[in-house]
Amino acid sequence: MKDLTILKPDDWHLHLREGIVLKNIIKFSSEFFGRAIVMPNTKNPITSINKCISYKKSISEGLPENSKFEPLMTIYLTDETIKDELIEGFKNDVFFAAKLYPANATTNSSQGVKKIENLYEIFEVMEELGMPLLIHGEVTDPKVDIFDREVVFIDKELLPLIQRFPKLKIVLEHITTSYAVSFVQENNLGATITPHHLHINRNAMFFGGLNSDFYCLPVAKRENNRIALRKAATSGKKCFFLGTDSAPHLRQWKAFCGCAGIFNSPVAIESYIQVFDEEDSLDQFEKFASLNGPNFYNLPVNKEKIRLVSKSNEIPKFIEVIDNNKVVGQIKPFHAGEILNWQVEGIVN
Ligand code: DOR
Ligand code: ZN
């Protein structure tokens, strides 16, 4: 039996949702992650200090007793974002970072940014403040093929942005292409990589019939991209760090409308370490999971450690959503019904 003890990891990209779903799923992140950057694309997006404070309060209330988990909150940028609100929120530790969704790029992004140039004044202050900009890097032009949206975004939107704001601290989120892997390294950006983009290529969405379980945005790409992502994540390079993009959708909705998002927080650590094991890179796992993120964000690393052991780990087919002792829904986790080779054994001090 193999085992590995690493500093407690953080999740640098997470969707916690609201209400009953939040209450049911937060334990999967708070148990073995120290911190998480919480995405602001709630139904009514987190566009102001007040909304952010009340969202953070509901997250804290949903945490198990005595949990030390720390949610790091973000502001959802729109064409109407008020500069002073952003500055005040950042200076008072309400906002840890700002999230840029191109309008209609993904779930709950209709109020996102219509024209990136409209935010230049905002980026100028963020650059001065050292406030991180987290980017969903896809264009939304319907003429651009869905599999090319990340690459076109990099060329048309990201490159001009970094040329104009060279000191802006940027994270290209959930990268999916070898093109992004190279661009991030060449331009001193940070990038999160999800477990699902390390495991699946675009065939997964079409295997055994149209399968929305593997539909997420950006969509998984060709196999050569998955290989490039696995190489990047397991390289230990400082610019690549863990961000699950765990995005739960109730089964009834996912099956009905095929919403984009893969719920991986119940299996994320095990899913990632399996990749590092397969790539013979277990010695690089702590960098990716627990060191590179804090280093990028200038935060201390977590004090506690977790121990992982290689043993057969059967993943449940569904996670139940419970309200007032009644099952009100189900969410399918990533790797549902599969057997993974690793398990988190627990926290060690
Ligand atoms: O697949 C995704 N789901 N990608 C995103 O960018 C958003 C997320 C969600 O909120 O469901
Ligand atoms: Zn996301």
Asked whether the predicted pLDDT for residue 55 surpasses 90, the reply is: yes
Burial class (CB in 10 A: 0-12, 13-18, 19+), 205: middle
- Measured CA to CA, the distance from residue 75 to residue 258 in angstroms comes to 27
197 is an annotated ligand-binding site residue: no
Q: What is the set of active-site residues?
A: 245
Cα(327) to ligand 2 centroid in Å equals 26
Asked whether the predicted pLDDT for residue 240 surpasses 80, the reply is: yes
What is the rounded average pLDDT of the residues 92-109?
97
What pLDDT is stored for residue 255 in this prediction?
77
- Measured CA to CA, the distance from residue 336 to residue 231 in angstroms comes to 25
Asked whether the predicted pLDDT for residue 256 surpasses 80, the reply is: no
What pLDDT is stored for residue 73 in this prediction?
99
Cα(217) to ligand 1 centroid in Å equals 6
11-14 and 35-38: which strand pairing?
Answer: parallel
What pLDDT is stored for residue 72 in this prediction?
99
Length of the chain measured in residues = 349
This prediction has a pTM of 0.98
SS (H, E, C) the chain: CCEEEEECCCEEEECCCCHHHHHHHHHHHHCCCCEEEECCCCCCCCCCHHHHHHHHHHHHHHCCCCCCCEEEEEEECCCCCCHHHHHHHHHCCCCCEEEECECCCCCCCCCCECCHHHHHHHHHHHHHHCCCEEECCCCCCCCCCHHHHHHHHHHHHHHHHHHHCCCCCEEECCCCCHHHHHHHHHCCCEEEECHHHHHCCHHHHHCCCCCHHHCCCCCCCCHHHHHHHHHHHHCCCCCEEECCCECCCCHHHHHHHCCCCEECCCCHHHHHHHHHHHCCCHHHHHHHHHHHHHHHHCCCCCCCEEEEEEEEEECCCCEEEEECCEEEEEECECCCCCEEEEEEEEEEC
Mutate which of 25, 214, 217 to test ligand 1's pocket (most atoms within 8 Å of Cβ)? 217
Q: Which residues approach ligand 1 with their CB closer than 6 A? A: 15, 41, 106-107, 136, 216-217, 245, 247, 260-261
Closest protein CA for atom 4 of ligand 1: 217
What pLDDT is stored for residue 346 in this prediction?
97
Asked whether the predicted pLDDT for residue 347 surpasses 80, the reply is: yes
260 is an annotated ligand-binding site residue: yes
Q: Which numbered ligand comes closest to the C-alpha of 243? A: 2
Q: Which numbered ligand comes closest to the C-alpha of 36? A: 2
Residue type, 199: H
What is the rounded average pLDDT of the residues 145-161?
98
Residue 61 CB: number of other CB atoms within 10 A?
10
Asked whether the predicted pLDDT for residue 257 surpasses 90, the reply is: no
| Residues whose CB is less than 8 angstroms from the CB of residue 256 and which lie 6 or more positions away in sequence, other chains included | none
For the domain made up of 3-348, give the CATH fold. Answer: TIM Barrel (3.20.20)
- Percent of the chain residues past pLDDT 70, beyond the cut: 100
Q: Judge whether 339 and 315 are in contact, CB under 8 Å.
A: yes
Mutate which of 41, 214, 257 to test ligand 1's pocket (most atoms within 8 Å of Cβ)? 41
What pLDDT is stored for residue 68 in this prediction?
96
How sure is the predictor about 254, in pLDDT bands with cuts at 50, 70 and 90? Answer: confident
Q: Which numbered ligand comes closest to the C-alpha of 196? A: 1
136 is an annotated ligand-binding site residue: yes
- Percent of the chain residues past pLDDT 90, beyond the cut: 97
Q: Is the dihedral of CA 233, 239, 242, 248 positive or negative?
A: negative
Spacing of C-alpha 225 from chain mean position: 18
What pLDDT is stored for residue 127 in this prediction?
98
217 is an annotated ligand-binding site residue: yes
For 123, what's the count of Cα atoms within 13 Å in the CB-facing half-sphere?
A: 23
What pLDDT is stored for residue 142 in this prediction?
97
How sure is the predictor about 253, in pLDDT bands with cuts at 50, 70 and 90? Answer: confident
- Measured CA to CA, the distance from residue 147 to residue 218 in angstroms comes to 8
What pLDDT is stored for residue 258 in this prediction?
86
What pLDDT is stored for residue 349 in this prediction?
78
What pLDDT is stored for residue 341 in this prediction?
97
What is the domain partition of the chain in residue ranges?
A: 3-348
What pLDDT is stored for residue 290 in this prediction?
99
What pLDDT is stored for residue 242 in this prediction?
99
Cα(57) to ligand 1 centroid in Å equals 23
pLDDT in tens, 171-221: 999 999 999 999 999 999 999 999 999 999 999 999 999 999 999 999 999
Q: Which residue has the higher pLDDT, 252 or 294?
A: 294
Q: Kindly report the average pLDDT of the chain as a whole number.
A: 97
What pLDDT is stored for residue 321 in this prediction?
98
Q: Which range, of 220-234, 243-257, 281-295, 323-337, averages the lowest pLDDT?
A: 243-257
